[in-house]
Structures are given as structure tokens and as C-alpha cells.
Amino acid sequence: AADADHPYGHGRIETAATIVVGILLLGTAALIGHNAVESLAAAAIMPGTLTLAVAVAAVAIKEAVFHYTRRIARRIQSRLLEANAWHHRSDALSSIIVAVGIAGALSGWPILDAVAAIVVALMIAKVAWDLIHQSLRELVDTGLDAAERARLRDSARAVDGVRHVHTLRSRWMGASVLLDLHVQVGPRISVSEGHRIAEAVAAALRARQPRLGDVLVHVDPEDDTGGGPSNALPLRTELVGRLWQRWTGLAVLGRIEDLTLHYLGGRVHVRLTLAPAPAGSAAGAEAEALRAATAGDPAVGSVTILERRAPI
């Protein structure tokens, strides 16, 4: 679970520990292989049937521990526990070598021991290498494969309100996947609708891929794949300050009720809402003067002026 100092959880520690267990398994394989080669040269000592029974019992117990541990590992999706399970199996396999060796010696085939040992050493080395390889891929931020990314992109695009999806990135963190993506929505929808769509996208992706951990959805009002065209435009306080200077002396100022800014296509598109004009005033001319003054700012694109109707 995450804490203040490790906001993404402790998945990477488990991954590093898995690599350590993998290296231990490789060492076990090397040791078994080395002993096998040595025993090929050594003289065979005749063991008894009791030793054989003990070796067989040891195999059964260690194999049972392996299956039990691996079942838990799969249930909680812990690669570290799975690596530990394989450690138990490597013990079971070494006991098999002992049993096979004893059986071989009892039946006049002392070389069986060494041959079995070499086969087992290779099997353990293979498991160890797979564990290390998987964990290393995770440590270098390997993500989901292309087919799975395409499926997730389709799920996001299918959400109502999403027009395009781009820059979908993922990476494994322990047993879960962190994902971020950009969704392009209608350019003039409200912030709250954009947020609602983003939450719906995250829910749809989670339904599709249960191993997703954190999902970050970035909402775009326009295509920004080649760099956001509107990122250099002034923010509200600066722009409105400039507009107030242009508006100085306009009779209509007291009627401005709402000012909406749309940052699209490298311009700020301004929408002004005015309170109803007093009866007999030159409402049309006042609105036109406001429109012209607003459009004079170099950052401003289109200007829309809405006048509320006076209640009848």
C-alpha cells in the first residue's frame, strides 16, 4: 500500500526482492550442477533402502509446500512469493536427485544421480532466469503490450463525450499497472462535464483491465499532440485587466454579468453575457462598441455577446 514517502506503493521493492531470490535460485542451480559433475568422478557409495524412503518423503513434503505457496502467490498476485515457491521446489528437486541417485545405485546405475542432477540444475536455472528477466523488464518501466494498449484506447474512445484519445502510456508497478492518457472532448463543454467524462473513462478502463492501479486522465479541448496551440495565451486576470483598459468609458460595463473564456486554436474566444438593457437605451450600439473594443486585444479571437431579455 502507498504511504506519504512512497505515493506509488512499494511494488518496486518487491520487484527488487524477486531479483534477489532469482539470483539465489541461479546459485542453487550452479551448486547442484557443480556437485553433479564432481560426483561423476567420485566413487559410488552403496546407500540403503531407508535412505531412499527418507529422500522420497522429503520430495513429497517440499513439493506440497511449493504448491501451497504458489497458490497463495497467484491469489495475491505476488511475484516475490512465487519466487519463494520456486525456491521450495528447487529443494524438492534436489531431494529427487538424491532419491534417483540412491535408486540408481541400488539397481546398479550410479551415473543416474549425476544425470538427474544436471537436468534439475537446468530446470532451476530456467525458472530463475524467467523471474529475473520479468522483474528487470518491470524495473525499466515496461508497459502493457501494444494489443492491450489498443484495447484500452478503444474502451476510452467508446465513452460518451470522448472524441479522440492520444498519448496512452502504461508501466508495471509490482502487480498493478499505472496508466495515463489524454482524451480530447468537445472544445466548449464545461470543466465539470470534462471532469465527469474523465472519471467515466477511468471507470471504463478499470472495467476492461482489472490490474490497473492509478489512472490519470488528461482532458484536452483540442488536439495538442504537436504542442498545445493555446498554451502561451494570457490567463484570466491578465487578460481581463487588459480588456478593462480597452472598455474604459463604455456605457455597457455595468451590465456585464458573465465572462467566459475559451482557449482554442491559439486565441481566446470571449463570450460576454449582459443584463437586460434599460428601456429606451441604445442597446445595439452599446453592445457593438463592447464587441469592437474586446476584439481589439491581440489575444482575442471571436467575441460573442449575449443579452438577456428583460422579463415581461
Q: Which stretches of the chain bind Zn ion, using CB under 5 A? A: 182, 220, 224
Q: How many CA atoms lie within 13 A of 73 on its CB side?
A: 19
Which of residues 180 and 307 has its CB atom nearest to Zn ion in the complex?
180
Q: For residues 177 and 170, is the Cβ–Cβ distance under 8 A?
A: yes
Q: How far is the CB of 165 from Zn ion (least distance, A)?
A: 9
Q: Which is nearer to Zn ion, 99 or 217 (CB)?
A: 217
Residue number with CB closer to Zn ion (199 or 288): 199
Minimum CB distance to Zn ion, residue 97 (Å): 58
As a whole number of angstroms, the distance between CA 149 and CA 143 comes to 9
Distances (CA, A) of 245 to 237, 250, 273, 305: 13, 10, 19, 19
Alpha-carbon distance of 126 to 130, in angstroms, equals 6
Nearer to Zn ion, 74 or 218 (CB): 218
Judged by CB, which is closer to Zn ion: 166, or 271?
Answer: 166
Phi, psi for 24 (deg, rounded to 5): -60, -40
Q: In which element (H, E) is residue 183 found?
A: strand 176-184
SS3 at position 274:
strand
Residue (87 or 182) nearer to Zn ion, CB: 182
- State the nearest-atom distance from the C-beta of 271 to Zn ion, in Å: 24
Minimum distance from residue 172 beta carbon to Zn ion (Å): 23
Q: How far is the CB of 220 from Zn ion (least distance, A)?
A: 4
- Residue closest to Zn ion, measured at CB: 182
Nearest to Zn ion of 113, 220 (CB atom): 220
**Measured distance CA(131)–CA(140) in Å, rounded:** 15
Radius of gyration of the chain (CA): 35
Cα separation, 203 vs 21, in Å, equals 36
Nearer to Zn ion, 166 or 246 (CB): 166
Q: Give CA–CA dist 225/212, Å, rounded.
A: 25
Residues 6+ apart with CB under 8 A from 60: none
CB of 182 to Zn ion, least distance (A): 3
Q: How far is the CB of 241 from Zn ion (least distance, A)?
A: 29
- In contact, 218 and 182? CB cutoff 8 Å: yes
For residue 103, the SS3 value is: helix
Minimum CB separation from Zn ion for residue 206, in Å? 15
